Amino acid sequence: MQKINKLQKDLKIKFKNESLLIKALTHKSFNQKSNNEKLEFLGDRVIGLVLSKKLFDLYPNESEGVLDKRFARLVNRKTCCDIAWSIGVQNYIIIANYKKRITRKDEKILSDCCEALIGSIYIDRGYDFTKSFILKVWKKNIDKSDITILDPKTKLQEYSLKLYKKLPLYRLIGSSGPKHNPTYKICVSITKSRKFIGVGSSKQEAELNGAAKLLRGINIS
């Protein structure tokens, strides 16, 4: 309870129902029936609504495609992981292995917990409060959203289509680790290139890392 009070103080939020906050911090490895998965589902949608409306207002002249790219950068796993880490959530996550120390490598656990936290705030304090909280903790990321940077997969796709009129090939070649924290290996290639292997805690992350490796391999920055 003392730790929960400290987190509320750090977040500058006093929950009306503290059990919601505890559930948001509870990983399914600790409790299969009462964990943060449903709150994560809800939080993901609330984050999406708030940030998509913010981008809609910030960039009234942008096309849907460009807005979608900006949005993807704001809500992807890495960004949610970074947000969770920046507000100190890693110190309060409840997992089965109580001796385990959550690190930045636990990207999925941190990202899921970030979304679950937003879901719990939404249920406890309502939309307007949650919107203000999201815009505050995402502020630096929103400020950087005016810089259009292509992610490696998009860059590789554009390069491959331009030169060869073909899409890059992504093939899952292996997965390992426990269900709650898996590691995937993806083989990436384009016409006239050798194959590169990307590794990540999700298939998407592995594909991004593989695409980035291939781009470096053909000297495309």
Q: With 70 as the cut, is the pLDDT of residue 8 above it?
A: yes
Give the percent of the chain with pLDDT over 70: 97
Q: With 90 as the cut, is the pLDDT of residue 147 above it?
A: no
**pTM score of the predicted model:** 0.68
Query: How many Å apart are CA 134 and CA 115, to the nearest integer?
Result: 10
- Average pLDDT, integer, range 198-221: 91
Query: How many Å apart are CA 135 and CA 150, to the nearest integer?
Result: 23
- Average pLDDT, integer, range 13-21: 95
Please, what are the domains in the chain? 2-146 (1.10.1520.10), 152-217 (3.30.160.20)
Higher pLDDT: 23 or 64? It is 23
- pLDDT band (50, 70, 90) for residue 221: low
Q: Give the residue among 217, 181, 179 at the shortest CA–CA distance from 197.
A: 217
Q: Annotated catalytic sites, by residue? A: 44, 115
Write down the pLDDT at residue 148.
Answer: 58
Q: List own/partner pairs for 59-65 with CB under 8 A and 24 or more apart.
A: 59/146
Write down the pLDDT at residue 1.
Answer: 63
Q: Give the residue among 106, 108, 78, 102 at the shortest CA–CA distance from 90.
A: 102
Query: Any idea how long the chain is?
Result: 221
Higher pLDDT: 213 or 146? It is 213
- Average pLDDT, integer, range 110-126: 97
Q: For the ranges 105-109, 120-124, 195-199, which has the lowest average pLDDT? A: 105-109
CB 73 within 8 A of CB 142: no
Query: How many Å apart are CA 139 and CA 54, to the nearest integer?
Result: 11
Mean residue pLDDT across the chain: 91
- pLDDT band (50, 70, 90) for residue 181: confident
